[in-house]
Amino acid sequence: MVKTILITGSSGLVGNAFKKISRHYEKHYNFIFSTSLLCDLVNYEESLSYFNKIKPNYVIHLAANVGGLYKNMNYKVEMLEKNLLMNCNVLKCCYAVKVEKCVCMLSTCIFPDDTTYPIDESMLHNGPPHASNESYAYAKRIMEVQCRAYNEQYKTNYSCIIPTNIYGPHDNFSLEDGHVIPSLVHKCYLAKEQGIPFEVRGTGKPLRQFVYSEDLARLIMEIIDTITCENIIISPNEEYSIADVALLIAKEFNYENMIVFNDTFSDGQYKKTADNKKLLSYIYNKSDKSSDFVFTDIQNGIKNTVDFFKKNVNQCRK
């Protein structure tokens, strides 16, 4: 039987990755790609009407109000309220139309600031998040609590995926509101166009794990039929500093000798090292399935991202 999968937030980074890989899964799944133009998830009545029309078997909830460090610091009310409303409405609609499985997207940035490393799935609520993104973090944490509440009270099958920093084609390349890789791609492009230094805000020392958007989509499809009512961190093993990433981006523009770091800006959280043991046990250690999955290395991932930006600079989100 072919299952219908509703993808919310399909115009975004991960949604576009699902569009690209979906053809490989068409024998078993019918994908419905939703955007805010088709359904405003902040509006419950509109959302319920849309869910009743689609009647999905599975929902992969990607829609969110997201941004980089400075958007999180400057728009705390919007980051909290829009995400709370969207997440609550999606889960209520999933229950109302009897969705078999819902997979919700969290982020490792919502983990406690004061913690031990590596962080694992059990540590999500062990303390407050970093102050720079507390509104977004608490909205996402509440979604995890809501998933568990539904599972416990109504015996639903709602799970949360917790990826590290996602990047790739179709990202938001905004200089102020984008995540670190896309915003640096845009900034380096402009710096070379104008013949000025490629300025990176902060010291460049913070460490991050980056997951390529198509890898994330493929991994969700790898485990979607086995994940049951639990949280799973999705991350490669490697960590890279912001300086490492800036250098890789600059090399794609042949501009690596023009990088400067402006340490008058905040670095945010220094590290968020995540433990991916549970993920690896799902995709490699199952007796009934094998996997040949390999993470995209960051050099190729950044090359693909920069190539996409260069080709689509006039129409991509920025």
Q: The pTM is what?
A: 0.91
- CB neighbours of 55 closer than 8 A, spacing ≥ 6? 4, 97
Mean pLDDT for 156-180 is 92
Architecture of domain 3-311: 3-Layer(aba) Sandwich (3.40)
> What is residue 285's predicted lDDT score, i.e. its pLDDT?
66
Model confidence pLDDT, tens digit, residues 189-233 = 999 999 999 999 999 999 999 999 999 999 999 889 888 889 999
Domain positions in the chain: 3-311
> What is residue 289's predicted lDDT score, i.e. its pLDDT?
55
Catalytic residue, from 50, 58, 70, 136: name it: 136
Percent of the chain with pLDDT over 90: 77
User: φ, ψ for residue 223 (rounded to 5)?
Assistant: -110, 0
Instruction: Tell me the H-state helices in the chain.
Output: 13-21, 44-54, 69-74, 76-96, 134-154, 180-194, 213-223, 242-252, 277-284, 298-311
Model confidence pLDDT, tens digit, residues 249-291 = 999 999 999 999 999 988 877 888 999 999 988 887 654 555 6
Residue 58's identity, in one-letter code, is Y
Residue 290's identity, in one-letter code, is S
Among 140, 131, 165, 153, CA closest to 241: 165
Determine the straight-line distance between the first and last CA of the chain, rounded to whole angstroms. Answer: 41
Percent of the chain with pLDDT over 70: 97
Mean pLDDT for 121-150 is 94
The DSSP output letter for 295 is P
Mean pLDDT for 100-109 is 93
> What is residue 67's predicted lDDT score, i.e. its pLDDT?
73
Cis before 206 (ω within 30)? no
Mean pLDDT for 231-251 is 96
Instruction: State the Cα–Cα distance between residues 263 and 254, nearest whole angstrom.
Output: 24
> What is residue 227's predicted lDDT score, i.e. its pLDDT?
86
Instruction: State the Cα–Cα distance between residues 115 and 49, nearest whole angstrom.
Output: 42
Mean pLDDT for 122-148 is 93
> What is residue 218's predicted lDDT score, i.e. its pLDDT?
94
> What is residue 290's predicted lDDT score, i.e. its pLDDT?
56
> What is residue 52's predicted lDDT score, i.e. its pLDDT?
98
> What is residue 167's predicted lDDT score, i.e. its pLDDT?
96
- The yes-or-no answer on residue 189 being catalytic is no
- Residue 215's alpha-carbon distances to 24, 60, 245, 249, 309, in angstroms, are 14, 15, 18, 20, 19
> What is residue 65's predicted lDDT score, i.e. its pLDDT?
82
Model confidence pLDDT, tens digit, residues 39-78 = 999 999 999 999 999 999 999 999 988 777 667 777 788 8
Token pair for 45: 């009545």
Token pair for 128: 């407050």
Token pair for 318: 């920025």
